[in-house]
Each structure stands twice: as C-alpha cells, then as structure tokens.
C-alpha cells in the first residue's frame, strides 16, 4: 500500500498537459531496488500472518499464485509506461483509450479509495504497539484519531516527512527480514512449521486460498507506480521491463519468505516479533514494533500530503468543489487536507462503531484497485501492439481471479465508481445547460 503515494503525488498534474522531461539517471539495477522498496511496506510484518490465519499452511501457495497473477499485470503496466510515459499513470491510459470521462472516473476512484486505505493502514500500524503496550479498543481509537490530528498539523505547514527517511526505513525492514531468513535456515529444534489451521479444514483449501489472496492483494497495491518511473530510466527501452519484472518478483519472494517465517512462531500475537525474539532476544518487540509503527505513520503522512494536492488540482479543474482549492498562508491546500483527514477519521469511527475488522476495509480498497487495474488492462488492449495481448489476457484473467476472491467486497468499488460516473455526467449536463443559458442571454 505504501507505493500508492507515487500515483497520488503525480496524478494532480493536469491530464492534458505535456509531460516535463525528467532527469534520466536510473539504471536497470537501480530500478530493481527502487521498485522493490516502492512496493514493500509495513504489511510485510503483518499480512503473511493474516493469510496464515485464513489458509493455514496453504498461505504460501496463495502468495505464489498471487505472484503469478501479478507478473502479467506488471508486464503490461511496464509496456504502457514504456510507450505512454506520463505521470498520471492509469488515469492517463484510460483517458487516451476511452476519453476524458473515463480518465476522470479512474482518477477520482483512486482519490476516494485511499481514505479508507489510510484508515486501514493506521489500524494496521497500531498493531505494532500490541506487544509493547496493552490498549483497550477505546484507547486505540483515541490514539488513532490523535495521530490523524497530528498529521493535519504537520502537513498544514508543509513539513512533510522526508522521502529519504521512508526509503531508509524500508531498507532497514529489508535488512531485518533478510537476517531472520538467514537465521531461520540454521537447523534448530525450536523452529517447527505450523500445522494446517482448523479453518482450512472447515472451508476447504480452495476457498481458504481465495480468501488469503483477497487479503494479500493489499501488498501489491500500487504496482501501477512503475509507470511513473519510466521517464527516469537511462535506457527505458532496454532496462525498464526487466527491472520491473525482477523488482516485483523480488517483493513476491520476500512476502513468501515472511509467510514461511511467520509459521515458525504461530502462537505469538505478532509472529514476526515472536520469531525475532526467539532468534535474537527480547528486543524484537521494540525493533520490529518500532520499525512498523514509525514507517506506517510516515507512509500515512505522505498519503495525506499527496491527497490534498490531488484534491486541490481536481478542484482547480472544476471537478471537485471550489472550496478545496483554498490555500493557507503556507501555500498548502489546508481545506482539502482537512477534508480527507476527516473522511479517513470517519472511516475509523465507523469501523469502531460497527465493529468492522480492518481486513474488511482493506478488501474494499483492494476492490477499488482491482477496478483500476482492470480498466488499465482494457486500455492496454486498445493502446498496445497485438503482441502484448497474451499478457493483457493473462492480466485480465488475474483481475478476474482477484474479483472472484474479493466477492461481495467488490460492491464498495463498483458503487463508488458508479456514483463518481453519475456525478461527472451530471456535472457535464449542468455545465452544458449553463453554457446554453449564457448563450441565450447574449
């Protein structure tokens, strides 16, 4: 999920503007590292354990199947980025293939999918505090709302957390995971794989794997971010596609590895913390908990900084209400910032009052991105050469698999997309009516 900030941060550029030439400095190996660190988020410490809770020892196969489905999507996005390099990514592809209305629908669907994603990410972030401090549900909610309030005051002055800090945190996460993988290969009687969980036997291997895939899709949200990197490669024709495929494969293998690691400490509330303490001592709750919590807050901070600018841009284009274009004395779109923080806070309160598990919210966000990816594959069918159609077909099949695995959670994305489409069409009708009235008055 952390990678979606790249799309948000770039999409506020007007779709009709000519793309500014970027500094082309990225080599193939730099691209692999950049793409891997872009996709890896704090979910690497939690999502594997959640998929184990659903699918037992079949969770690894769920991750492997997900990776096989993600690779053709990655290839198609890489081809789109190579031939239609633009910072707006999927919204631009939809605009080129199906017209401005489609591009705006995809852009707004993304815009309104992220607030529940930010809420789910914050709930996930607070999970890292559980091994350190015991908090009631009410205390957790108050703490989460206080973080949202803090992020408003941080962003309203333009004091965003540095992207270098976020990159450094990701590198530290990679180091910790690699160290744990190496240590786990040393034979020890303490580490025994988990047995298949009872839920697997109750609902069947196939259904449990589909549920695990529906949850694991969260880890690859933002693969479209690779389309924004194409213009910065030294040799985009030669290096871009290999870099993206290798980078995404690396991320998938890391998640598979973390799933295996999580099976080694099944009784611990946070398996990666439990395993770290088994391997390296009692500092695991502080090291992994601290890394997860700080990185989660940093990522959510960037969500809001970027969302506010995207909303500001759409307001300037007349797509969103005019008040969202208001800038404060620091030249920050504070009204847009507060609006989307409030929406995210309402999602938090709703999840608390209705006792909605954060995985349900994650499924809603996953559904929204599956719609965006499906639209991108359909646009690719129209925009790319025929030789790409086997990969596009595989990508569409993968999207169909994700839709099937998400089930009723797709209704959130479909209803949201329908409302956005109707609102935009109504806006166009109203503008035409206004223009006709102005001409009649002349």
Tokens in use for 334? 């504070």
In the chain, the N- to C-terminal Cα span, in Å, equals 52
Angle between the N-to-C axes of helices 389-406 and 59-83, in degrees from 0 to 180, rounded to the nearest 10: 140
Q: What pLDDT score was predicted for residue 392? A: 96
Please tell me which residue, 310 or 96, carries the higher pLDDT value.
Answer: 96
Q: In the chain, what are the domain boundaries?
A: 4-433
Is the CB of residue 80 less than 8 Å from the CB of residue 377? Answer: no
Longest dimension (CA), the chain: 88
350 vs 319: CA distance, rounded Å: 27
Please report where in the chains the tokens 């408003």 appear, as a residue: 152
DSSP structure class, residue 267: T
The percent of residues above 70 in pLDDT, for the chain, comes to: 83
Q: Tell me the per-residue pLDDT of 195-240, one tens digit each, with 9 for 90 and over.
A: 444 444 444 577 888 999 999 998 888 777 666 666 667 777 788 8
333 vs 327: CA distance, rounded Å: 4
Q: Which residue, 105, 99, 198, is CA-closest to 420?
A: 105
Q: What is the dihedral of CA 260, 261, 262, 267, to 10 degrees?
A: 120
Q: What pLDDT score was predicted for residue 15? A: 40
Q: Tell me the per-residue pLDDT of 248-305, one tens digit each, with 9 for 90 and over.
A: 898 899 899 899 988 888 778 888 888 888 888 888 788 888 888 887 887 787 778 7
Helix (H, G, I), strand (E, B) or coil at 233: strand
DSSP string, 12-26: TS-TTSPPPPP---B
Is the CB of residue 306 less than 8 Å from the CB of residue 4? Answer: no
Q: Tell me the per-residue pLDDT of 320-345, one tens digit each, with 9 for 90 and over.
A: 888 888 888 877 888 988 999 999 99
Q: What is the dihedral of CA 367, 228, 291, 56, to 10 degrees?
A: 40
Please state the φ and ψ torsions of residue 429, each to the nearest 5 degrees.
-65, -45
Please state the φ and ψ torsions of residue 268, each to the nearest 5 degrees.
-80, 140
211 vs 6: CA distance, rounded Å: 28
pLDDT at residue 370 tops 90: yes
Q: What pLDDT score was predicted for residue 166? A: 61
Helix (H, G, I), strand (E, B) or coil at 383: helix
Q: Tell me the per-residue pLDDT of 388-426, one tens digit each, with 9 for 90 and over.
A: 999 999 999 999 999 999 999 999 999 999 999 999 998
Q: What is the mean pLDDT of the chain?
A: 82
440 vs 402: CA distance, rounded Å: 51
Nearby residues of 349 by Cβ (< 8 Å), 6 or more positions away: 141, 145
Is the CB of residue 125 less than 8 Å from the CB of residue 135? Answer: no
Q: What pLDDT score was predicted for residue 12? A: 41
Q: What pLDDT score was predicted for residue 98? A: 95
74 vs 226: CA distance, rounded Å: 8
Nearby residues of 166 by Cβ (< 8 Å), 6 or more positions away: 2, 295, 298, 299, 302
Please tell me which residue, 152 or 40, carries the higher pLDDT value.
Answer: 152
Report the range of poorest mean pLDDT among 21-30, 84-93, 397-406, 427-436: 21-30
Helix (H, G, I), strand (E, B) or coil at 159: coil
Is the CB of residue 151 less than 8 Å from the CB of residue 304? Answer: yes
Q: What pLDDT score was predicted for residue 141? A: 93
CATH 1.20.1740.10 fits 4-433, yes or no: yes
Nearby residues of 112 by Cβ (< 8 Å), 6 or more positions away: 368, 416, 420
333 vs 422: CA distance, rounded Å: 27
Most confident of 22-26, 56-60, 282-286, 315-319: 56-60
Nearby residues of 361 by Cβ (< 8 Å), 6 or more positions away: 116, 117, 119, 120, 123, 347, 351
pLDDT at residue 368 tops 50: yes
Name the H helices within 263-357: 271-280, 284-316, 334-353
240 vs 322: CA distance, rounded Å: 39
Q: Would you place residue 366 in the very low, low, confident or very high pLDDT band (cuts 50, 70, 90)?
A: very high
Is the CB of residue 370 less than 8 Å from the CB of residue 401? Answer: no
94 vs 117: CA distance, rounded Å: 23
Q: What pLDDT score was predicted for residue 386? A: 92
């Amino acid at each position: 999920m952390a990678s979606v900030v790249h799309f948000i941060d770039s999409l506020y550029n007007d779709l009709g503007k000519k793309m500014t030439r970027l500094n082309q400095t990225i080599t193939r190996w730099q691209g692999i590292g950049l793409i891997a660190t872009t996709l890896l988020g704090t979910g690497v410490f939690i999502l594997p354990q959640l998929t184990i809770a659903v699918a037992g020892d079949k969770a690894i196969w769920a991750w492997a199947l997900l990776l096989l489905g993600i690779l053709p999507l990655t290839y198609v996005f890489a081809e789109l980025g190579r031939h239609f390099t633009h910072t707006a990514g999927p919204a631009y592809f939809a605009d080129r293939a199906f017209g401005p209305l489609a591009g705006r629908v995809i852009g707004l669907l993304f815009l309104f999918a992220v607030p529940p994603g930010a809420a789910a990410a914050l709930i996930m972030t607070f999970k890292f505090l559980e091994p350190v401090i015991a908090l009631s549900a009410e205390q957790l909610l108050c703490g989460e709302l206080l973080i949202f309030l803090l992020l408003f005051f941080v962003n309203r002055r333009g004091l965003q957390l540095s992207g270098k800090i976020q990159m450094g945190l990701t590198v530290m996460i990679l180091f910790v995971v690699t160290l744990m993988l190496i240590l786990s290969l040393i034979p020890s009687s303490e580490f025994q794989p988990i047995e298949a969980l009872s839920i697997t036997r109750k609902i069947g291997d196939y259904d449990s794997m589909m549920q695990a895939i529906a949850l694991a899709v969260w880890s690859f949200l933002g693969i479209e971010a690779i389309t924004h990197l194409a213009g910065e490669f030294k040799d985009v024709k030669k290096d871009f596609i290999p870099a993206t495929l290798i980078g995404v494969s690396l991320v998938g293998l890391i998640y598979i590895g973390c799933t295996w690691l999580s099976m080694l400490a099944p009784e611990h509330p946070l398996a990666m913390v439990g395993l770290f303490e088994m391997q390296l001592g009692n500092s695991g709750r502080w090291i992994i908990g601290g890394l997860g919590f700080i990185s989660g807050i940093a990522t959510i901070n960037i969500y809001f900084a970027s969302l506010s600018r995207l909303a500001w841009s759409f307001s300037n284009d007349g797509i969103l209400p005019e008040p969202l274009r208001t800038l404060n004395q620091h030249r920050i779109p504070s009204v847009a910032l507060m609006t989307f923080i409030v929406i995210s806070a309402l999602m938090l309160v709703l999840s608390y009052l209705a006792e909605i598990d954060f995985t349900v919210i994650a499924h809603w966000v996953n559904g929204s991105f599956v719609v965006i990816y499906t639209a991108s594959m359909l646009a690719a069918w129209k925009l790319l050469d025929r030789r790409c159609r086997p990969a596009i077909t595989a990508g569409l099949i993968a999207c169909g698999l994700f839709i099937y695995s998400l089930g009723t959670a797709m209704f959130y994305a479909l209803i949201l997309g329908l409302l956005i489409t109707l609102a935009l069409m109504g806006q166009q009708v109203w503008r035409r009516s206004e223009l006709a009235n102005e001409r009649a008055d002349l």
